[in-house]
């Protein structure tokens, strides 16, 4: 899910009922009356604004050595988990689910960092990334004598954590438990960011692990998230330099012939087709980019509209269609020229070298 996009879509066209001019006159009138009555009481202390927050100290006891875990297996489980929910979707198809077998070991980095706390050990296992997306997998292994087991009505354990790059261009987008094996809980965190002149290569991922917790969800009292909570503090900050090979995109220029594609313009909740020409495609195992030049409709391209891709799938060397239910995508639109750039994050990995064609906007383009 692209939460920035969701919030932008929901809130961007919301405006106050009262016009700005009216707000000013109302406020000035009220202030004048208050002044006359000498009842001005709004002298509040200066708010603390954007103060630097306290540094979180890493409460580690030890940083251990590698224990020989399965890098491929860990990321395989992540993407299996990532596509599993599709089974409940009404338009579910068998190949929606990632079945495993992708070789993640070519890129990314095995980290094997172990931090021991009073009741559990946190092990950061590995990271994979392309230019705009990073996945980190880590384990929490509870001490056997700690009360970690499943409890009636309790939610799953969750690690409250945040990833940001040092330049703040990318941050946490998603995270969850991948698997539970007795006292071993495997989690992932995903960070995503803008593609605009930024790349994760050479950047540093700063991961703040705040605390582990679980509780009973409270649907009645809106002031309390959970009525009861079991919490273990963590307070650990780990910096992961992206000094390892990341998935570089395979960039392709689309030939003039057969590059016509149709995009969808959601205007006021209705779908319209927008004629476009696909210009470039770049594909990495974790995400892909498409750039289009649209034929600007007579009524123009509007900022409030949503611009979507229809019929988006790849075909591999064996002729099999690889369809995606995208994790999220972002669209950059140049409203003057009609240029549009889609950045799509995939919910299962692909090998760009195995892709022979892309079908997008109703048009199939051979990739050479």
Partner 1 sequence: MIVITPQEFTRLVELFSGTVFRTALCYVKNKHDADDVMQDVFLKLYTYNKDFESDEHVKAWLIRVTANHCKNLLKSLSYRLFEPIEKAENIPTHEEKEEELLSIIMQLNQKCRSTMYMFYYEEYSVKEIAAILGEKETTITTRLSRGRKQLKKLLLKGGYNELQ
- How far is residue 243 from each of residues 9, 80, 108, 128, 319, measured CA to CA in Å? 36, 27, 9, 11, 36
Size of the site for partner 1 (CB under 8 A): 75
Give the DSSP H or E segment for 33: helix 20-37
- How far is residue 117 from each of residues 120, 185, 232, measured CA to CA in Å? 5, 15, 9
Residue 287 binding partner 1, by CB under 8 A: no
Q: Which is nearer to partner 1, 92 or 146 (CB)?
A: 92
Among 75, 127, 158, 248, binds partner 1 (CB under 8 A): 158
CA–CA distance, 207 with 99 (Å, rounded to integer): 29
Q: State in angstroms the smallest separation of the CB of 90 from partner 1.
A: 9
Residue 295 binding partner 1, by CB under 8 A: no
CA–CA distance, 345 with 127 (Å, rounded to integer): 16
- Location of structure tokens 């600007």: 296
Q: State in angstroms the smallest separation of the CB of 94 from partner 1.
A: 16
Residues from 166 through 225 that contact partner 1 (CB under 8 A):
168, 172, 174-176, 208, 210-211, 213, 222-223, 225
Task: Tell me the three state secondary structure of residue 254.
Answer: coil
Residue 300 binding partner 1, by CB under 8 A: no
Residue 354 binding partner 1, by CB under 8 A: no
Q: If phi over 0 gives left and psi between -120 and 50 gives alpha, with beta otherwise, what is residue 299?
A: alpha
Q: Which is nearer to partner 1, 83 or 291 (CB)?
A: 83
Q: State in angstroms the smallest separation of the CB of 231 from partner 1.
A: 10
Q: Which is nearer to partner 1, 21 or 149 (CB)?
A: 21
Q: State in angstroms the smallest separation of the CB of 199 from partner 1.
A: 20
CA–CA distance, 148 with 139 (Å, rounded to integer): 14
Q: State in angstroms the smallest separation of the CB of 274 from partner 1.
A: 14
Q: Which is nearer to partner 1, 69 or 266 (CB)?
A: 266
Residues from 73 through 102 that contact partner 1 (CB under 8 A):
85-86, 88-89, 91
Residue 268 binding partner 1, by CB under 8 A: yes
Q: Which is nearer to partner 1, 52 or 65 (CB)?
A: 52
Residue 63 binding partner 1, by CB under 8 A: no
Q: Which structure tokens are listed for 172?
A: 């946490």
Residue 266 binding partner 1, by CB under 8 A: yes
Residues from 320 through 339 that contact partner 1 (CB under 8 A):
325-329
Beta strands in the chain (DSSP E): 109-116, 120-129, 133-142, 158-165, 170-181, 184-193, 204-217, 226-241, 250-253, 260-267, 270-283, 287-294, 306-309, 313-316, 321-323, 328-333, 339-345, 355-360, 363-366
Among 36, 38, 51, 101, binds partner 1 (CB under 8 A): 51
Q: Which structure tokens are listed for 3?
A: 């939460």
Among 14, 57, 65, 220, binds partner 1 (CB under 8 A): 14
Contact assessment for residue 94 and residue 211, using Cβ atoms and an 8 Å cutoff: no
Residue 40 binding partner 1, by CB under 8 A: yes
């Amino acid at each position: 899910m692209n939460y920035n996009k969701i919030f932008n879509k929901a809130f961007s066209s919301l405006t106050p009922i009262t016009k700005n001019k009216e707000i000013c006159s109302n406020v000035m009138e009220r202030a004048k009356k208050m002044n006359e009555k000498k009842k001005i009481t709004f002298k509040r202390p200066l708010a603390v604004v954007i103060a630097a927050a306290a540094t979180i100290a890493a409460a580690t006891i030890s940083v251990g050595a590698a224990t020989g875990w399965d890098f491929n297996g860990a990321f395989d489980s992540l993407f299996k988990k990532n596509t599993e929910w599709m089974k409940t979707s009404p338009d579910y198809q068998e190949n929606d689910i990632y079945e495993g077998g992708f070789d993640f070991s070519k890129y990314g980095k095995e980290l094997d960092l172990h931090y021991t706390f009073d009741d559990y050990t946190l092990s950061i296992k590995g990271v994979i990334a392309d230019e705009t997306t990073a996945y980190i997998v880590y384990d929490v292994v509870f001490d056997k004598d700690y009360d970690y087991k499943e409890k009636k009505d309790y939610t799953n354990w969750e690690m409250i954590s945040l990833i940001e790059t040092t330049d703040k261009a990318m941050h946490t987008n998603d995270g969850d438990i991948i698997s539970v094996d007795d006292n071993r809980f495997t989690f992932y965190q995903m960070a995503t960011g803008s593609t605009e002149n930024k790349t994760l290569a050479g950047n540093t991922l700063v991961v703040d692990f705040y605390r582990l917790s679980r509780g009973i969800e409270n649907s009645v009292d809106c002031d309390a998230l959970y009525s009861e909570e079991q919490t273990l503090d963590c307070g650990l900050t780990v910096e992961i330099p992206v000094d390892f090979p990341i998935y570089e995109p395979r960039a392709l220029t689309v030939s003039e012939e057969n590059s016509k594609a149709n995009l969808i313009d959601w205007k006021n909740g209705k779908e319209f087709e927008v004629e476009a020409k696909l210009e470039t495609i770049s594909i990495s195992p974790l995400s892909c980019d498409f750039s289009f030049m649209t034929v600007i409709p007579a009524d123009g391209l509007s900022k409030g509209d949503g611009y979507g891709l229809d019929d988006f799938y790849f075909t591999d060397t064996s002729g099999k269609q690889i369809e995606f239910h995208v994790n999220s995508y972002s669209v950059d639109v140049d409203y003057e020229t009609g240029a549009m750039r889609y950045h799509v994050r995939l919910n299962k990995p692909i090998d760009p070298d195995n892709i022979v064609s892309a079908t997008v906007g109703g048009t199939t383009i051979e990739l050479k």
